[in-house]
Amino acid sequence: MIVDHAYELITDDVFLRLHGLLPHAELFLKLEGLNPAGSVKLKTATGLVEDAERRGLLHPGGSLIESSSGNLGIALSAVCAAKGYTFTCVTDPHVPRQSVALMRAFGAHVCVADTPDGNGGYLGSRIALIRSALDLDPSLTWLNQYANAANPAVHAARTAAAVLREIRTVDYLFVGAGTTGTVMGCAAHFRRRSPRTTVVAVDAAGSVTFGGPPGARRIPGLGTSRVPELCRPRAVHRVVAVPERDAVRMCRRLARSHGLAVGGSTGSVLCAVLRLRSGIPPGARVVALSADLGDRYLDTVYDDAWVTEHFGAAAAGRPRTPGTAQSAPEEVR
């Protein structure tokens, strides 16, 4: 494969058949982290930027601004570096330091919104900061991943299409929900091309995206403290909210049993698969999307001290006191 730009190196055809988690059915994990930006958000970034270019919102040397909990910020930083745009990413204190460092390595400016919004998260605060920046500098272009139709459109055309092209028959599709761009795009494509497929949106406990009560969340990637404009709950068949402690346990289990380190959202998605396993018939073909890999979470999800501090020693795989190991929740066994 030879391409002219790094952002063209999107691998949409890599799936890992996961053995052991769903013994009575076939479970395929779609690995989205095998590209230069390290996540599914490289497709989102290219889709948003190319849409803005087509609509005449972006011109050579232009300046962009966007809110991100990490992965889209990295992807936009990379795309903007290659295309010659100036990029400012508005993040929050939960964004991994490796993610911030990588954005800056690509030349992005990083601003941190450190005041929680009314629901205890930072999304509202990040967007408020962007609106203030736009008032001060009208030349900035805000791509607005939370409301931009180009976000689900690129995942309908690429992510969902790739799943059906490679796996063909899909009985269940599990997709994590952040901005909901990926899951809404997949739901739209499957509704047209494979209406028999059950599409499951996976959210984080404490997220308000699908009407749940607000709560503390520490792992970026899933959930919001403000309902994204793109979200259409009726577009999916099921919504499963997963506590972060269970997601952490699943990530650590997968690393030690399959030699694969994934991000926290993937842990949530796989927990959701196991939570619904009793309703999945024998021989079904199940696809779960893995948004990114685990290298950006070495200081959090895969760090014993961090996990123990926030979720307890049992979540880190160690008993709280010698000789008193606790069992994992049913979803993680």
Mean pLDDT of 237-255: 97
pLDDT mean over 23-41: 97
Amino acid 253 reads R
Residues 68 and 169 grouped into a single domain: no
What average pLDDT does the structure give for the chain? 93
pLDDT the model gives residue 318: 59
Q: Is 170 in the same domain as 266?
A: yes
Band (321; pLDDT cuts 50, 70, 90):
very low
The answer to the question of residue 251 being in a domain is yes
Q: Domain containing 91: what range?
A: 40-142
Residue whose token pair is 């739209």: 188
The whole-number pLDDT of residue 317 equals: 79
pLDDT tens string 127-136: 999 999 999 9
So what's the pLDDT on residue 329?
Answer: 43
Let me know whether 111 and 226 are in one domain.
no
Is position 281 within any domain? yes
- The answer to the question of residue 103 being in a domain is yes
Closest CA to 134 of 204, 57, 70, 206: 57
195 within domain boundaries: yes
Q: Identify whether residues 239 and 121 lie together within a single domain.
A: no
Distance CA 31, CA 12 (A): 8
Residue 168's region, left for phi above 0, alpha for psi from -120 to 50, else beta, is: left
How would you classify the pairing of strands 26-31 and 15-17? Answer: antiparallel
How many distinct structural domains can be found in the chain?
2
Mean pLDDT across the stretch 241-262? Answer: 97
Confidence of residue 320 (pLDDT cuts 50, 70, 90): very low
pLDDT at 124 over 50: yes
**Which residues fall within 8 angstroms of residue 40, CB to CB, at 6 or more apart?**
32, 33, 71, 155, 159, 182, 289, 291, 292
Do 100 and 210 lie in a common domain? no
- Are 28 and 76 members of one domain? no
Which pLDDT does position 120 carry in this prediction?
Answer: 80
Mean pLDDT score, 183-208: 98
Question: pTM of this prediction?
Answer: 0.93
| More confident site: 330 or 121 | 121
Question: Does 96 fall in a domain?
Answer: yes
Q: Does 225 lie in the same domain as 173?
A: yes
293 close to 313: Cβ distance less than 8 angstroms: no
Tokens at residue 113, please?
């919104």
Q: Are residues 164 and 232 in the same domain?
A: yes
Q: How far apart are CA 169 and CA 172, in angstroms?
A: 9
Point out the domain boundary residue: 142, 164, 190. 142
The CATH number of the domain where 85 resides is what?
Answer: 3.40.50.1100
In terms of domains, do 164 and 137 share one? no
Is there a domain that residue 329 lies in?
A: no
DSSP for residue 157 = I
- The answer on 290 and 189 residing in a single domain is yes
The sheet with strand 198-204 has its strands ordered as 15-17, 26-31, 285-290, 172-176, 198-204, 238-242
Q: pLDDT category, 155, cuts 50, 70, 90?
A: very high
Is residue 276 situated within a structural domain?
yes
pLDDT tens column, 281-299: 999 999 999 999 999 999 9
Considering the chain, what percentage of its residues have pLDDT values greater than 70?
Answer: 95
How far apart (Å, rounded) are the C-alpha atoms in residues 323 and 319? 7
pLDDT at 174 over 90: yes
pLDDT of 59 reads 93
Lowest mean pLDDT among 25-34, 93-102, 237-246: 93-102
pLDDT band at 212 (very low <50, low <70, confident <90, very high): very high
Domain presence at residue 327 = no
Q: Over range 150-164, report the average pLDDT.
A: 98
Least-confidence region, from 35-44, 100-109, 123-132, 256-265: 123-132
Whether residue 290 sits in one domain with residue 199: yes
